[in-house]
Structure 1
Amino acid sequence: MSDAPPGMEVAYLKRTSPAFKALKDVVSATALLKLLPKLTKFCHTGTLEVFHSFLLRFCSKRQYFPYPGMKARLMLAALSWNALQRSNATEKVDVVKWSKRKGAWVLEERRKKQASDSVPPQLKSLMSRVVEVASQHLQLPPIAEPKLQRRGCHVAKPSKEELRHL
């Protein structure tokens, strides 16, 4: 006859074993049982924080926007956020990256960047219209490209296959 509780096929621990008694003491501890309701109400807010950070790209807290401008910016942010969520941003790709800590090239897995065609067509047409209207009202000189020094490492970049076989 098995020590298994009714409805279970296999008993992993015998009720008389020291391991079962230790597990029972831990699980039925008063301190744990008091904390359990608080722990079950815990909610991760990481996604919400990412969304708020994303909103700051469209409407900074450091700059004043009149209500219609703020509303339009928030709507554009919502459209862009939804497009980003529907895109293939969760696909993983391998990236060859120089590691300062290791002093060598390493293969790193990252999320795939958002494709340019994942922007909704309404947002594309709206932005092109905004640029068109703004360019009619503002006569700005062309902006010269800044000359930046390329920073990198002294070792040639290997292929992904070479790094996989190391």
Structure 2
Amino acid sequence: MTCYNVKPSEVLFSQVSIANKFKDGRLIGEVRDDIYDGIMSVKDLPMIEVKLIDGKYVSADNRRLWILKQLERLRHLSRVEVINIRRIDRRKSARTDHVKIRGGNPGGRSTDLMCVYHMMGRLLLCHHDFRWGSSPHFLVFYIMFCCCCVLSFLYFVWVLAVLLVF
């Protein structure tokens, strides 16, 4: 079998929806968090299998692909090794970039927080043709973002201090 090194964003899902947990009961968001936090490695996941269809990579390993795409969006990884296979189950015939998650929230302690960081990162790192220092609007946004971070940290310290005193 041939192996390729690809960006997860270059691989399509073969289903329109995925379950929120693996067969062993672990939530896909928890696995993503464990990899993001360094508790696990991407190499701990079985390599995803892809088939080249009409010039696009398509994977039947949709939950693992979701994790890899999330880690790429969070800039935790940029490329992964995939195995080329000859065929994909006929029941997995979709070719899509996005999936719906069945069974509720994907889990993980940072699902919402990572979404916020992802959105902020897109704004900070060149979304809509913004580049570091390229616009006065960017500078204003960046200053406001830094102030919010500092205020959030100070609020956290204050809450911690109040809890320790009482």
Q: Relative contact order: is structure 1 or structure 2 higher (C-alpha 8 Å, sep ≥ 6)?
A: 2
Larger-Rg structure: 1
Same fold (TM over 0.5): no
TM-score normalised per structure 2: 0.26
TM-score w.r.t. length of structure 1: 0.26
